[in-house]
Amino acid sequence: MSMATVGKCMPVLESLKPRNYDEQKCLCCGAVVRFYNEEYRKPCNRCGTMVISKMEKTRVAKKTINCWVCMDKGIVQYPVQAEGKIYYYLARCNCPKGMKYPSTIPLLAQCEMAPREEFIELENRKTCASDTVLG
């Protein structure tokens, strides 16, 4: 194979090489921003606008949720209205992650002013469904 033939094949070979980065175009100035390894956001080199990678959105969308009550956090925050004000209380979830927290934090089922777990789960499912439709 001659050098001229190798030179003609180079653009084809270059396109076959796997990329180790993701590219996103800055919508403000049009510059291309490259994300390497675990990067998912970085400022544009030309105008400074914070650009977020498309790959991060797909990673978040693929995450499976084991507990819809606490969204895999182990802790549930719920509001209580008293004296014309809203107060936020915390409780442990009944899932395995919630059981890792100290017993000084009450379980959600033990809190008399807390909403039922089914209601919190339904609201979290609605919120996640609307986020995936918009995202």
CA angle 87, 71, 107 (to 5 degrees): 55
Q: Is 10 helix (H, G, I), strand (E, B) or coil?
A: helix
Q: What pLDDT, on the 0 to 100 scale, is given for residue 14?
A: 55
54 vs 134: CA distance, rounded Å: 14
Say if CB 71 and CB 124 are below 8 A apart.
yes
pLDDT in tens, 27-39: 888 898 888 877 8
Q: Using CA atoms, how far apart are residues 117 and 89, in angstroms rounded to an integer? A: 14
Mean pLDDT of all residues belonging to the chain? 80
* 8: helix, strand or coil: helix
